[in-house]
Amino acid sequence: MINHAVIMAGGKGTRLSALTKGEIPKPMAPVLGKPLLLWQLEELKRNGIGRVTMVVGHLKEKITGYFGDGRDFGLEIDYVEEETPLGTAGAFALLKERVPEDRFLLVFGDLLFSLDLARMEEAFLRDGAEALLFVHPNSHPYDSDLVRTAADGRVTAFDSKKNVRSSWYDNCVNAGLYMLDRRMLDRVPEPVKTDFEKDLLAPMAERGEAIYAYRSPEYVKDVGTMDRIAAAEQELSRGLPEKRNLKNTQKAVFLDRDGVINVEKGFISRAEQFELLPGAAEAIRRINASGYLAVVATNQPVIARGEATLEQLDEIFRKMKTLLGQEGAYVDDVFFCPHHPDRGFPGERPEYKIRCDCRKPETGMLRAAAERYHIDLSESIVVGDMTQDIEFGRRGGCRTVLVLTGNGGKDGKYDVKPDYVCRDLLDAVETLGF
């Protein structure tokens, strides 16, 4: 079990000057009356971390004087001082003798978080990672640094928010929390100013090295501005960070795609055909704020029928995520079934022409999501525009909502009655009280 964390706590917090008044470093900014660093330490301790090394610089005595050797907080704390600012990774050269363990957690000092660290460590070991990045969707991907990944989660590139993005993109944001193999420290032989992402991670990704993304809907929030601290304080007051922790059971709204999120146009096989329904982004934004996960679960027989490739389907999903992000909304994950049992279509792909347990109304997608995110299906909701969606939810033990957009339940495949019938997705979330 991982036992050591390194916190980069040397920031000045210029954007928090109204709060810090130049008298305390950024990581000591108060959040609900408690220093941000203390929030971090309490969460690390809950996850079994026993030793913490803090990299300090600006007004370091405010940190060292408050926390000392950590005994009063049930931890062992030591410090590495940057005599001059070394960027986000230059201090690695100073950490080599302080981190004897095989792996450690790296946390930036402006983060508020609540997470199940054991799950992240399991992914780290499974992938054989040298660096594992905590990534998640957020409500503003258009002005965030994004991560590009391969199907197996390997990081292939970083997309800076400064780039001009001419294509649809995944809402996959680097949160600033990492699990690292100790070998990462050897990549900075001398204490010189080094940018962790630009100088270390990006070249590793380009070379195809063992750098992976860990996708999670858990709460990891940059609170480096006054507005973000205010938002975080409201979320803490509502218990949202703890609710999102995957140690606790989650609740989800499972959304069909065609006819629920986007305009029904038959089998969509190209991104240019995808068009958000009015009100869909606002509805998903309300789900995001509710504490429920927003999960897409959709049959996509265009793959089996040979009408689209997996790459083309991925582009459609990326367009969906881009358009939702432009309106401040996001989905936590997407599950899809590529299969279709009926044969006889020109260009069909035989390997997908099977009877499976993931094609609705079979419940494979629900079970996969429940396992991945610790979801209680009995506390979750399925929203769809077809009777097969309602049967899907019924078999999974979820409450169900039929929306009258798209097919509007006219498929008639199953004799089922939904718990609610609503005009559209926005009406559905309003009816459910989100």
pLDDT in tens, 188-245: 999 999 999 999 999 999 999 999 999 999 999 999 888 889 999 999 999 999 999 9
Q: Say how many C-beta atoms besides its own lie within 10 A of residue 34's C-beta.
A: 11
Q: What is the pLDDT of residues 327-343, one digit of tens each?
A: 999 999 999 999 999 88
By C-alpha distance, which of 431, 425, 381 is closest to 404?
425
Q: What CATH number is given for 249-431 in this structure? A: 3.40.50.1000
Segments in 255-375 forming alpha helices (H): 280-290, 310-326, 364-373
What is the model's pLDDT at position 302?
Answer: 96
Which residues have a catalytic role annotated?
Answer: 256, 258
- Residue 111: name the closest of 241, 270, 248, 284 by CA: 241
Task: Name beta bridge partners: 181.
Answer: 103
Residues of the chain with CATH 3.40.50.1000: 249-431
Average of per-residue pLDDT across 41-58: 96
DSSP-H helix ranges across 33-135: 36-46, 60-67, 92-95, 117-127
- Say how far apart CA 119 and CA 241 lie, in whole Å: 16
pLDDT at 376: 98
Query: Is the distance from CB of 110 to CB of 220 less than 8 angstroms?
Result: no
pLDDT tens sequence across 92-148: 999 998 998 899 999 999 999 999 999 999 999 999 999 999 999 999 999 899 999
Could you give phi then psi for residue 355, rounded to 5 degrees? Answer: -90, 125
DSSP state of 35: E
Question: pLDDT band at 17, cuts 50/70/90?
Answer: low
Per-residue confidence (pLDDT) for residue 286, from 0 to 100: 97
Sole residue written with tokens 């959040």: 31
Beta bridge partners of 105: 5, 179
Look up the pTM and report it: 0.94
pLDDT on residue 14: 67
Is the backbone of residue 433 left (phi > 0), alpha (psi -120 to 50) or beta?
Answer: left
Upper half-sphere CA count for residue 176 (Cβ side, 13 Å): 20
SS3 131: strand
> Rounded mean pLDDT of the chain?
95
**d(Cα 362, Cα 340) in Å, to the nearest integer?**
13
Domain 4-238 has CATH 3.90.550.10: yes
CA atoms within 13 A on the CB side of 347: 8
Our CA angle for 342, 363, 296, nearest 5°, is 95
What confidence category does residue 23 fall into, taking pLDDT thresholds of 50, 70 and 90? confident
The two three-digit tokens of residue 384, written as one number: 């769809």
Domain with CATH 3.90.550.10 in the chain: 4-238
Give the model's pLDDT for residue 10.
85
Return the pLDDT at 346.
83
